[in-house]
Amino acid sequence: MSHRRQTLSSHRLTALHPGKKVRTLPRTEAVATGRQWLPLLLVLILPGMIVLISNLRTLCFDFAYDDARVVAGAGDLVRDDFMGALLSFKRPLRTFSFALDEWMFGREAWGYHLDSVLWASLNASLVVLLAYAISGRRRISLCAGVLFAVHPVHVEAVANIANRKDLIAFAFGIAAVAVLCRPLLGKRFPGIGRMLAATVLVLLCALGKEVAALGVIGVICLLVLVSLRSSRDRKHIYAYKVVACLIIPVFALLVGTVVVKRYLLPIPELFATDRLAYLSSGLIETPADWVVRSLAGVYRSFSLLCFPLRLSADHPVPPGGLVGIVQGAFGVLLLLGTVALGFRVAERLPLMSAGLVWFLPTMLPVINIVPISHFFVAERYLYLPSLGAAFVGAAILDLLAEAAARKDKRLVSPPWVIGLSILAMLATVRSVLRIDIWRDSRSLWSTTCRDSPKSWRARIVMGEIFEEEGAYDEAIAKFREASQILPAAARPHLLIGEVLMKRGAKGAALEQFLEAARLEPNWNLAKKALSEVYHSLGVDSAVRGDWAAAYNAFGAECTVREDWAAAENYFLKALSASPTDAEVLCNLAKVRIILKKYPEASESLNQGHALVGDRAWCGDLPG
């Protein structure tokens, strides 16, 4: 029986490496034969345990960023309308998982964090399973699982409860690929059972996150091409040419259809100037500039996957112009080059080939080349593509180990152990330090403000946190920083105006609302804020466009709280709008007397006397 299993293992390796003589493994190296199941089980469990241990600290964390908003009401929604939640296709699996957390843990944040950590731990073990299905070897599979488990770019997806969708979609997507990869790499058509299982898993992946399912479908398509491309059968070669001509347009059509159906916008409206300006906070207005910056984001994403040093909860918009074109060209070369290289090494290095072809289909749906998101680069978007980096890194380490194994016949060679240990320790330290900033919203965004000098969104969120705490001066300071970083953005001015309204400075708030309306004339929130401040001051004339009466009322409001300088400023604005308004001249003269600007006050009184013809026209004067 043992000999028969050993022979089957040899046949499997021969199928994975066609045309290459593969030696029969001795009993001590046989994979999952006889009593060898325990080492394989340990290989599967170890990466999951690494994820579990390194992320246990999140159980002490509170809800951060948008967690509380996203998880709110999930239990009631599922209980009251289960089918409605499922058929809405608004990532229902995440909603169901939140509902389960709510029923089990109430509103305790640690329960939600525990669920996310368990999903991430399962995903690390699934990576080992997929690597083993492709390579048939424990060592390289363990290496891939460990590299994936400790990658620092995963911190956002695990620590931010709202990103549970990425974890769920990853689990089902990887399972679908694992079901199909064995027959595909063996140059065989999958059986009906595998096809049905993969279809169900891809559907579940889509219910978790639709763009992740698109990436998984693309990976499966490329694995089909790799299998046909490496075959020496003429029929397979002909099939490869046919599939290659069909697979790219079909996949592109599928992506476009899902995007349009998901967001219910025709392509011209997706690239409308107003929409681009809104999504980029005024930085981008033309479709060409949007595409350039999206491709430049690919270069930044690859940098984060290979060198995860400059991590942030809010990465800035990639550059445009010449710098953006250069970075975008590098991004395109990386996407296409990895696929081409993956095809070339398919026979000799199957795991590296799978990792290289993994990047294009998993990154294409999230590079934001079709304008559907505010974010061009986000670490949660890289959770699925990071598996390709883990596979490539494991294959490189395995090559180093094989070079040393020619002299040392041991299964685990010192270079492999040393290299993997160093990478794992460095990445784990980086991840643990990164996890700590997600303990609450204040910690997250204060750190982001410190680490990302150009992140205006971080300053907006930090200002809102200060506003909720009643620290209005600090809130205004953060909003002003955001306005300096992005002068074309209207939102900072609107938020400053809202804070000033809470402080009672309605005139100063009006100035901010007017600036917001000037920057974005069609913004309904700015119009609503203007209307509210007008009516709160009782100035219906401002709504009609009578700015002289409006500014005169704002100045009078400033005199009530004895803000004489602001009152003078508003009366001057009212006078510029209506130079012959005697009431405004009177009010201006009284304020100037209080400010001891006697010559200017006398000038205002003389102008009013010339208009009215009565020396007592202004009534009693102060002093």
- Decide: 147 and 390 in contact? Cβ < 8 Å: yes
- Checking if the pLDDT of 617 tops 60, the result is yes
pLDDT digits (tens, 9 = 90+) for 221-272: 787 777 766 555 555 555 555 554 455 555 555 655 555 555 555 667 777 8
Q: Which domains does the chain have, with CATH numbers?
A: 31-438 (no CATH), 455-536 (1.25.40.10), 538-623 (1.25.40.10)
What would the DSSP string read from start to end of 521-590? TT-HHHHHHHHHHHHHTT-HHHHHT-HHHHHHHHHHHHHHTT-HHHHHHHHHHHHHH-TT-HHHHHHHHH
| pLDDT tier, 21 (very low <50, low <70, confident <90, very high otherwise) | very low
Amino acid at 584: V
The DSSP 8-state label assigned to residue 58 in this structure reads G
CA distance 149 to 218: 24
- 22: pLDDT confidence band, cut at 50, 70 and 90? very low
Cβ-contact 224, 363 below 8 angstroms? no
> Looking at 49-58, 235-244, 489-498, which range is the least confident one?
235-244
Residue 50 has pLDDT above 60, yes or no: yes
Q: Higher pLDDT residue, 264 or 190?
A: 190
Kindly list the distances between the CA atom of residue 183 and the CA atoms of 25, 131, 189, 224, 343, in Å, as whole numbers in the listed order: 22, 14, 6, 10, 18
Tens digit of each residue's pLDDT (9 = 90 or more) over 367-414: 888 888 888 999 899 999 999 999 999 998 888 777 665 555 454 556
Question: Average pLDDT of 66-85?
Answer: 76
Q: Are 23 and 121 in contact (CB under 8 A)?
A: no
Q: Which residue has the tokens 């930044």?
A: 300
Q: Report the largest interatomic distance among the alpha carbons of the chain, rounded to a whole angstrom.
A: 120
DSSP 337-399: HHHHHHHHTTTT-HHHHHHHHHHHHHHGGGS-SSS--S-SS-GGGGTTTHHHHHHHHHHHHHH
The pLDDT assigned to 262 comes to 55
126 and 174 Cβ atoms separated by less than 8 Å? yes
- Does the structure show a pLDDT above 80 at 71? yes
Tell me what pLDDT residue 323 has.
92
Which pLDDT band holds residue 510 (cuts at 50, 70, 90)?
Answer: confident
Do 151 and 386 meet the contact criterion of CB atoms below 8 Å apart? Answer: yes
Range in 266-275, 485-494, 562-571 the model is least confident about: 266-275
B/e letters for 309-328, b = 16+ CB within 10 Å, e = fewer, are: eebbbbbbbbbbeeebeebb
Residue of 526 and 327 predicted with greater confidence: 327
Q: How far is CA 517 from CA 259, 278, 512, 525, 611, in A?
A: 31, 14, 9, 9, 35
- 76-86 CB burial, b ≥16 within 10 A, e <16: ebbeeeeeebe
Question: Other C-beta atoms within 10 Å of 16: how many?
Answer: 22
Q: Do residues 148 and 48 make contact, with C-beta atoms less than 8 angstroms apart?
A: no
Q: Which residues contact 321 (CB under 8 A, 6 or more apart)?
A: none
Long-range Cβ contact pairs of 478-485 (< 8 A, separation 24 or more): 478/449, 481/456, 482/456, 482/457, 483/456, 485/454, 485/455, 485/456, 485/459
